[in-house]
Structure 1
Amino acid sequence: MDEENAEVLANRNEPIPVLSVSKPKREREGSPDSAHSRSTSQSKNSIQDRLFSKLLQQVIPTDDDDDESNPGDQSFATSPKRPGFSLPAMSNNFRRFNARIGVVFLFQNRVERLLSWKTPTHTASFLFAYSFICLDPHLLLVLPLVVLLLFIMVPAFITRHPPPPSTSTSSTTPYYSYEGPALAPARTIKPAPETSKDFFRNMRDLQNCMADFSDIHDATISVFAPLTNFSNEKLSSTIFLICTMAAVGLFLTAHLLPLRLIMLVAGNAAVLSNNPKIRLFCQGLMEDVGSGLDDLHLPLPGEGEDRDLFGTAVPESPSAAISAMEKLVDISVDTDPEEREVEIFEVQHRITGSSESGWENFLFSPQPYDPLSPSRIAGDRPRGCRFFDDVRPPSGWKWKSKKWELDLDCREWVVERMITGVGFEVPGVTPEGNAIIDEVGGWVWDLPPPPPPPESRTEEKEELPTMAYGDLETEPESSQTKNGSSSKDKAWVKYARGDWEEAAAASYGVGEWRRRRWVRVVQRMDAQPAGTVTYSTLGHN
């Protein structure tokens, strides 16, 4: 399908935030605030904040019941430790966050300077340390302790024990004394004041960081989404097959790869490629090699055609190589569409007061309307359409076969649905068992209720059971047999023995409804039409 469904990634484990302008719980109870003072920023809510919160509260959608949020996480989302969304809390938290985010941007700046060879000695030292770790990965356990000692505790100790001031005019190396009491106070990390330059520097870096993340996110989606979302099925199928074969190959051979050597070479190559001198040298070398190949190029007989190398055709030009690769990865995704079989039931109703052959076409229904169906028990009429032409295929499917086919093997779908209280045609015998027929029509009819026991019947006329829609069983009583017992008495004996269907079919005929099954083949379409009403149901092949 050409249409692409846009998907938004978000944290849906918690409900949609609701704006709140109420004061914090601590302020309502009158308790003092913690060390991170919020009372100055949340003690009062101005009329502007209240008005803006009310406006946003009208814009934010309500939480839907069909959202993907987990009902079990509601208590976590509404707990006091996780307050609701409010503009004062958001602005206060942003100020606190911006005052303390400087350490992250400082670390980012130092990493960029380290990898861009601003100080070659620092970068070379980093490469040596990285190489030692690649050769002996057990040194990773020592790395956190080394960072703690050299980058945190040693600078803190030097701050407490500074060198004495120099009295001479000549520049000498400062002398650090490690004996005696501390000469300076300990250095602590404090949040940047809101009116300082560092606070605005953090805002600038945070702004640029958000822009960089957005650019990287959009670039990543634009590159990887067309390769993996099967908008181009041939390309995505090729990548899927390549990744599958690579995963299987790595699963078997991953233990044979020299990971230490690979990480050593890859890491050093990545850092060395950022060196300006090495980058210029590589560019000049590539230009010299390219010009040398152009000077040594000689026309060969049959130039422009593929050469043979060990019996294999080698493309002459890059365009020919690309064409050869396209032939190798050419995958046929135009497979036959999926096919299913749909069914429809022709439901007929027996005309009241007529013989068993008097049936009227009622409708075509997706359900067989058997005696124990929910709609039948509830007293509802069967639902469907009057003519075959009104039957529509399911949404997203189209007809493959031109005509409906009658399912003559009615025993199979009756047994499959475990339908009881019905009878069906058997080749050679009619429902009454008194005639021979060569063909069957696939009809499945209702059986009437079981006959009453002989001792409960009186000489007076009994009330006949009421069928669906007020139709009554009007079959005349059969005559007495030679031994003095009626056919109904024999039917009751068969019913008491468990032969209910046989007894009812033999003595009381058929019920008020019958149905037969029609089938037709459909195939899936590429685009699904919207708003299609269908009366047919999908079956199984």
Structure 2
Amino acid sequence: MEDHTTDALVNRDEPVPVIAAGKHNDDAERSKPGVLKRSVSKAGRSLQDRIFSKILEQVMPVEDVDAESVSVGDKPIAIDSKRPAFSLPLMANNFRRFNARIGIVFLFQTRVERLLSWKQTSHTVSFLFIYSFICLDPHLLVIIPFAVLLFFVMVPAFLARHPPPPSTSTSSITPYYSYEGPALAPAKTIKPASETSKDFFRNMRDLQNCMADYSDVHDATVSAFAPLTNFSNEKLSSTVFLTCMLMAALLFLTAHLLPWRLILLVGGNAAILSMHPSFPDLVQSLAGDMLDQTAEEGPATDRKGHESFNVSGVAMPASPSKAVSLMESLANISLDSSPEEREVEVFEIQYRSLAPYSESQWEHFLFSPMPYDPLSPSRIAGDRPKGCRFFEDVQPPTGWAWKGKKWELDLDCREWVVERMITGVGFEVSGSPSESGMTSGEIGGWVWDLPPASNRYEEAVSTLAYDVLESLNPSKGHDSKGRKKGKERISQDYEEKVHTGSHVTGEWRRRRWIRIVHRVSLPAADKYDQAAEDDTRDT
């Protein structure tokens, strides 16, 4: 195995990692020593790739790339068909290419960590001076890209082309660089690390540790911020929400008045100084001195001193438990005790046959959440109405409970008919006689279907008197005046039958019942499962 790849940017500060052979469980086997396995030949690796590809093809169905899409908001965006589909050999090849070129990122990460952790004090202090100058004069920020290009890219490249001549003297004389004359060395080029070099395995080690660090930071961030923002504790999340709203409104008005240069100067220097190795000891000594000072104030304030200590006249909790209790007291927001209320509706649907010479009466069919009007999609599709047979079977929506004990009949049927823009129906008007063929003892609120125009005309014709029919079929000498009179009488009787007759109705009629529901708290396990359904349910 090669020692390292020439001109490859990698992190060579740590030894070559050891590859553990065999199965291991994530973090439990990290510390176990392992044995470096021999590299498998290309023929064997290709055979394994083929086997894994066949297995994945059996497990995951292959779909057309053009048919796949990702959704951004409410608009689906088709995936570019020029991009290759998932392939295990392609993924392995891309990983090897990526790992050979990722060394510059880990090198930069190592140098930043070394700079901020005070490994070399002179470097960190110099960085603090540069940061302070930029905070005091933000116009210097535009110089940074050019300075980095000059001092960290071009100057090292020039020195690599003009190295110092070899020293022939036996004394320890510092080599000098000659900036005159032709170049003595080839130009330095960044090359990817070879797969057989130690640098390649160093990159694999850093990539492995980077993925672990990201996972740990992700889990820690979620565990810290999720309880504050997901309203699992409504009082605490409400406090955070109100605080953020007040801060946003306040900064919207006063952000231009704040001394941002001074804030960034003090905050940045304080953050970097807090990373000094001796900073924790300094903080502990100061905290101990402050606790000792509060303990000496006297027996009257001894008990209070154990619970809190004064910082510039402000009482601060002395223990984590006291700090938590203080936060809980601040978050003690009185939420609205009255739950949200809404109105639930259900339609009582009745049916009767319109077969010829049938004297069938209205029969209860079911209770449905939809009115099953003539132009409803289910009725146009030829489906029967869906619902339950009895009132007792009607259940409230998920997350809601009945507040009222009884269902109330909606007698003002005109309102919900007009609101839904339902056509092809007739309904009762308050103060007018019944129009749906009901007896005077029945309650109203019915909305019935009107029959087709052809059926209404035929029924109007069939109810005419015999003498009117005679006038419609006169002898050859009948004049046109009698024919016109018969037509007018047919039209008059037809209009009366449509509006006031007891038989000019369709097969279905319905009326609306309403009931009040209020929200109830769901169990913790069901809250997240029903969140999407509750948000989209229209009660």
CA apart distance, 1:108: 1.4
> What is the alpha-carbon distance in structure 2 between the residues aligned to residue 59 and residue 45 of structure 1?
21
Please state whether the residue corresponding to 2:364 is helix, strand or coil: strand
Q: 1:153 to 1:435 in 2, by over 3 A?
A: closer
For 1:511 and 1:523, the matched residues in 2 are separated by 38
User: What is the aligned-residue identity percentage?
Assistant: 60
**What amino acid sits opposite 1:408 in the alignment?**
L
Unaligned runs of 5+ in 2: 1-40, 469-480, 531-536
Q: Which one is further off, 42-51 or 87-96?
A: 42-51
- The superposition leaves residues 423-446 of structure 1 with CA deviations (integer Å, 9 ceiling, x where unpaired) of 333455434799997985223334
- Which region of structure 1 is more displaced relative to structure 2, 407-416 or 522-531? 522-531
Change (3 A) 1:400 1:173: same
Alpha-carbon offset, residue 407 of structure 1? 1.5
Q: Which amino acid aligns with 1:364?
A: F
Aligned to 2:367: 364
Q: Which of 342, 345, 350 in structure 2 is aligned with 1:343?
A: 345
Deviates more, 1:283-292 or 1:192-201: 283-292
Q: Whole-Å Cα distance in 1 between the matches of residues 314 and 124 of structure 2?
A: 47
Deviations 1:342-390 (A, max 9, x none): 222333345775879x543343333334444455556655444333223
User: Aligned partners of 2:314 and 2:132: how far apart in 1?
Assistant: 42
Cα distance in 2 for partners of 1:201, 1:435 equals: 89
Within 5 A, what are the aligned runs for 1:192-207?
192-207=193-208
Say whether residues 1:181 and 2:182 are aligned partners. yes
**8 Å contact 2:427–2:445 — kept in the other structure?**
yes
Residues 370-425 of structure 1: CA deviation (Å, up to 9, x unaligned): 44445555665544433322333334433221111111222222332333444333
RMSD of aligned Cα (Å): 4.3
Residue ranges of structure 1 left out of the alignment (5+ in a row) = 1-40, 454-462, 466-472, 532-537
Distance change >3 Å, CA 43–CA 85, structure 1 → 2: farther
Asked if the contact 1:192–1:199 (Cα under 8 Å) also holds between the matched residues in 2, the reply is yes
State how far apart, in whole Å, the 1-side matches of 2:340 and 2:141 are: 54
**Is residue 492 from structure 1 mapped to residue 491 from structure 2 by the alignment?**
yes
> 1:229, 1:236 within 8 Å by CA — same for their partners in 2?
yes
Classify 1:390/1:434 alpha carbon distance in 2 versus 1 (closer, same or farther; 3 Å).
closer
Change (3 A) 1:139 1:452: closer
Name the CA distance, whole Å, in 2 between partners of 1:213 and 1:61. Answer: 31
Q: Equivalent residue of 1:445, what SS?
A: strand
1:47 and 2:47 are equivalent in the alignment = yes
**How many Å separate the matches in 1 of 2:314 and 2:171?**
76
Letter in 1 for 2:422: I
Query: Which AA in structure 2 matches 1:519?
Result: I
Q: Secondary structure at the match of 2:513?
A: strand
Residue 393 of structure 1: which of 396, 400, 405 is its match?
396
| One-letter identity of the residue aligned with 1:518 | W
Q: Shift of residue 281 of structure 1? A: 4.1
Tell me the residue number matched to 1:516: 511
- Letter in structure 2 aligned against 1:59: V
* Normalised TM-score (structure 1): 0.72
Please report how far the alpha carbon of residue 492 of structure 1 lies from its aligned counterpart in structure 2 after TM superposition.
1.2
The count of corresponding residues between Structure 1 and Structure 2 is: 466
Matched with 1:477 is 464
Deviations 1:271-299 (A, max 9, x none): 222223455444434433433443x2212
- Cα offset, 1:92, TM superposition: 2.1
Evaluate the alpha carbon distance shift between residue 47 and residue 505 of structure 1 in structure 2; reply closer, same or farther with a 3 A threshold.
same
* Native 8 Å contact 1:431 1:510 kept in 2: no
Determine if contact 1:160/1:184 at 8 Å carries over to the other structure. yes
Distance 2:380 2:196 in 1: 78
Question: What SS does the aligned partner of 1:142 have?
Answer: helix
Change in CA separation of 1:525 and 1:173 when aligned onto 2, cut-off 3 Å: same
Using a 3 Å threshold, how does the CA distance of structure 1 residues 493 and 331 change in structure 2: closer, same or farther? same
Task: Indicate the residue corresponding to 1:28 in structure 2.
Answer: none
3-state SS, counterpart of residue 177 of structure 1: coil
TM-score by length of 2: 0.73
- 1:406 is matched with 409
1:434-492 Cα distance to aligned partner (Å, 9 max, x none): 99979852233344555899xxxxxxxxx946xxxxxxx997434769x9899984461
* 1:236 and 2:231 are equivalent in the alignment: no
Residues 423 and 490 of structure 1, relative CA distance in 2, 3 Å threshold:
farther
- How far, CA to CA, are the matches of 1:42 and 1:174 in structure 2? 47
The residue that corresponds to 2:35 in the other structure is none
